[in-house]
Amino acid sequence: MQYRTLGKNKKKVSVLGFGTMRLPTLGSESEINEPVALEMLRYAIDHGVNYIDSAYVYHGEKSESFVGKALAGGYRQKVYLATKMPVWLVQKKEDFDRIFNEQLARMQTDKIDFYLLHCLQKDSWPKMLELGALKWAEKMQSDGRIGEFGFSFHDNYDLFTRIVDGYDWSFCQIQYNLVNEDVQAGTRGLKYAAKKGLDVVIMEPLFGGTLANPPPAIREIWDRIGKDCMPVDAALRWLWDKPEINLVLSGMSSMEQTRQNVETASRPEGSWLSEQEREIIPLIQKTYRKLYPVPCTKCRYCMPCPSGVDIPLNFELYNNTAVFKGNAVKLCRILYTSLPASQKASACKKCGICEEKCPQQIPISKMLEDVNKQFAEAEGANA
Ligand SMILES: NC(=O)c1ccc[n+]([C@@H]2O[C@H](COP(=O)([O-])OP(=O)(O)OC[C@H]3O[C@@H](n4cnc5c(N)ncnc54)[C@H](OP(=O)(O)O)[C@@H]3O)[C@@H](O)[C@H]2O)c1
């Protein structure tokens, strides 16, 4: 495992962090497949991963408790634990202590090593300032209950720079991957943070898994490097090639993915990318930008929808029909028509609640109209 440092106290962290937002489940998002997830987490730790990232809301609020259980038996001492204050649930000052204490209990610990304000956006940042979040965190740090203090971010570059400059943070967490160079904080934000001496943790390094299963037009470009080229491996290495990045979180959902990503992060020191990869990646980026109509990462922050629409699934099927051909398109149509009526795009009542929660700022209601139009023909054929 390769290591870098993170935070003001320069803690030695593995370049790969374990994100616990995409653990294997038994069906519904809140039913974590605990035996498998536990094996994955401990495998990663046994092979050098020492940073675990969770949040109050992941897996229907079950992720933190799972992490607490999985780190029993001496594993807690081997890792740095990160979790986040769900800023949208904080209405008054007292909520900080209430939520934080609940998190400590769930995670069976008395200290969070890396604590973040979760998903700061244009409305929540001033709200946090007004409610005294920074003073509260300083008190927690002086009490030894928080180690390093930072924020995670999904808004635009200008707001990012304002937040970076607005406090003496230890670190930040941004969405960044090879197709998101110009999205949110983006490459400019990464360089800005580095210039200001702020350490950076990366989330959504595979764009929520999209980069793991490239459509034929992209696979064909990767194949120019060699038929055995693994896009996941290359996408992660593209990130570690950047010195401004301190740690990359991966949300692994199977043992196989855990083994593979641990192996990628454990390659011997040296260049992270070959010359051929450096040449080809700009073309991959350009082709991706052209292909996908909806920039959904399936993070499910938009859910639950009050009308029952499965928003990420609708967008996944829609994107796949735009990108793939032949049988894959037929399969998407069949999958869409077989969804319960309440889960389909056509059930959207345009209440807009999801749009307030979407970190990608996708105009969801409008895009669901497009999904509905796209699949209307298939619906008609099956009527
Ligand atoms: N603070 C925030 O606002 C925020 C937001 C998002 C994420 N995060 C944190 O950042 C972490 C990382 O983000 P992410 O989970 O979105 O990461 P990601 O790497 O972009 O997406 C994870 C998905 O990629 C696929 N994947 C991972 N490794 C693979 C491999 N070796 N082969 C094939 N597919 C692979 C899996 O998809 P399948 O499951 O489809 O196989 C997995 O669920 C999260 O887990 C969470 O801890 C924080």
pLDDT given for residue 360 in this prediction: 83
Rounded to whole angstroms, the Cα distance separating 63 from 218 reads 34
What separation in Å is there between the alpha carbon of 239 and the centre of ligand 1? 14
Residues linked to residue 314 through DSSP beta bridges, in sequence order = none
Residues 102 and 34 in one domain: yes
Rounded to whole angstroms, the Cα distance separating 88 from 86 reads 6
Q: Which residues of the chain have pLDDT under 50?
A: 383
In total, how many domains does the chain have? 2
Residues 88 and 197 in one domain: yes
- On whether the CB atoms of residues 108 and 68 are closer than 8 A, the answer is yes
Residues 48 and 178 in one domain: yes
| In the block, residue with structure tokens 């930008």 | 289
What separation in Å is there between the alpha carbon of 146 and the centre of ligand 1? 25
Identify whether 114 is part of a domain: yes
Residue 246 is encoded by which pair of tokens? 């301190």
Give the CA distances from residue 297 to residues 144, 177, 316, 319, in Å, rounded to whole numbers and listed in that order: 35, 11, 9, 11
Cβ contacts of 43-47, under 8 Å, gap ≥ 24: 43/255, 43/258, 43/259, 43/262, 44/16, 44/18, 44/252, 44/258, 44/262, 45/18, 45/75, 45/78, 45/79, 47/1, 47/262, 47/266
Residues 279 and 341 in one domain: no
Rounded to whole angstroms, the Cα distance separating 368 from 344 reads 9
Residues 126 and 14 in one domain: yes
Residues 315 and 198 in one domain: no
Residue whose CA is at the smallest distance from ligand 1 atom 21: 208
Instruction: Give ligand 1 pocket residues (Cβ under 6 A).
Output: 19-22, 53, 118-119, 152, 154, 173, 203-209, 212, 232, 249-253, 257, 260-261, 297, 299, 359
User: 159-193, pLDDT tens digit by residue?
Assistant: 999 999 999 999 999 999 998 888 889 999 999 99
Residues 227 and 341 in one domain: no
What separation in Å is there between the alpha carbon of 19 and the centre of ligand 1? 7
Residues 327 and 360 in one domain: yes
pLDDT given for residue 227 in this prediction: 78
- On whether the CB atoms of residues 38 and 70 are closer than 8 A, the answer is yes
Helix (H) or strand (E) holding 270: none
Provide the residue type at 170 as one letter: S
pLDDT given for residue 380 in this prediction: 65
Residue whose CA is at the smallest distance from ligand 1 atom 30: 257
pLDDT given for residue 183 in this prediction: 80
Residues linked to residue 199 through DSSP beta bridges, in sequence order = 171
3-state secondary structure of 256: helix
Q: 30 lies in which domain range?
A: 3-288
- Which of 29, 174, 250, 302 most suits a substitution to test ligand 1, by most atoms within 8 Å of the C-beta? 250
User: 83-123, pLDDT tens digit by residue?
Assistant: 999 999 999 999 999 999 999 999 999 999 999 999 998 88
Q: Which residues contact 285 (CB under 8 A, 6 or more apart)?
A: 178, 179, 181
What separation in Å is there between the alpha carbon of 18 and the centre of ligand 1? 9
- Which of 238, 252, 264, 360 most suits a substitution to test ligand 1, by most atoms within 8 Å of the C-beta? 252
Residues 284 and 346 in one domain: no
Residues 93 and 231 in one domain: yes
Rounded to whole angstroms, the Cα distance separating 134 from 219 reads 46
How many C-beta neighbours within 10 Å does residue 122 have?
12
- Which of 203, 260, 316 most suits a substitution to test ligand 1, by most atoms within 8 Å of the C-beta? 203
Which pTM value belongs to this model? 0.88
In degrees rounded to 5, what are phi and psi of residue 92? -145, 165
Residues 251 and 323 in one domain: no
